[in-house]
Amino acid sequence: MHLSVHGVSKSFGEGRQAKLVLDDISFSIKSGEFVALVGSSGSGKSTVMRLIAGLERPSAGVIALDGQSVRGPGSDRGMVFQKYSLYPWMTAAQNVAFGMSLQGLPRPLVRERTAYFLEVVGLQDAARRLPKELSGGMQQRVAIARALAADPKVVLLDEPFGALDLQIRESMQEFLYQLWQRSGLTALLITHDLEEALLLAQRVHIMAPRPGRIVRTVEADLDRSNLPHLRMSAPFLELREELVTTLRNLDAAAS
């Protein structure tokens, strides 16, 4: 699997009204990698995600998945959003099963995979519950199970924990990291939270706004065997501090 974003720019609007939102974005992800895109609000992160998802077309440049140019949405890319991504009238199991049923998988297989992926996210006991009967963290785990169940080549997560309280967010970060380790999924995490990006991703692309562009790429080569410990370790805090300073200087230069 190889997802490549090459020289991608995006403008909204026409002529003199046109606004450049993304300027010459390039990066790539290979099988099994966990990559993060981090940047302040308005730096164009969600636009990058929508382009990869095939919900928008680039104004320039190419997005390709395994050498095939992305021309629209497809089940080879799984998506998890910040919130409201579950159907409120469907149970957890029905939400997970939905995409597979659309793909036309036979019902016994859909049932089997639904049970399996609910178990992967630790929610086998919540199969018959409605989203409103689940906590925010549990809802996001259902959303992740649904994304994985469709067997995508890459999972795109746009601020998946942004609406959760700090403590739950931290436990969900640890959950996602363990899931990635266990299941070998390929993930693109989009977040405004530098700590979250550095904690989870091996490679972090830092974006700045107006226009949205990648200003720095960091290989976050850290020992992740104990994430709660890593959060407070000296190498982690030093790296975070250095990047926060870089970003602050960029913001100051821009304003």
The residues binding ligand ADP (CB under 6 A) are 12, 21, 39, 41-47, 212
Least Å distance, CB 186 to ligand ADP, is 21
Residue with smaller CB distance to Mg ion, 50 or 113: 50
C-alpha to C-alpha distance for 168 and 174, rounded to whole angstroms: 10
CB nearer to ligand ADP: give 47 or 95.
47
Which of the choices Mg ion, ligand ADP, none does residue 191 contact, using the CB cut-off of 5 to 8 A by kind?
none
Residue 42, binding choice from Mg ion, ligand ADP, none, Cβ under 5 to 8 Å by partner class: ligand ADP
**235: number of Cβ within 10 Å:** 12
Closest distance of CB 45 from Mg ion, Å: 5
89 makes contact, choosing from ligand ADP, Mg ion, none, with CB < 5 to 8 Å by partner type, with none
| Phi-psi domain of 44 (left: phi exceeds 0; alpha: psi -120 through 50; beta: other) | left
Interface with Mg ion (CB under 5 A) = 45-46
User: Nearer to Mg ion by C-beta: 48 or 110?
Assistant: 48
Taking the complex as a whole, the smallest distance from the CB of residue 159 to Mg ion amounts, in Å, to: 6
Complex with ligand ADP: residue 82 or 94, whichever CB lies closer: 82
- At its nearest, how many Å lie between ligand ADP and the CB of residue 72? 17
Q: Which is nearer to Mg ion, 37 or 134 (CB)?
A: 37
Tokens representing 15? 């002529």
- Closest contact distance (angstroms) between CB of 118 and ligand ADP is 29
Nearer to ligand ADP, 43 or 186 (CB): 43
* Angle, helix 136-149 to helix 166-183, in steps of 10 degrees: 20
| Minimum CB distance to ligand ADP, residue 254 (Å) | 14
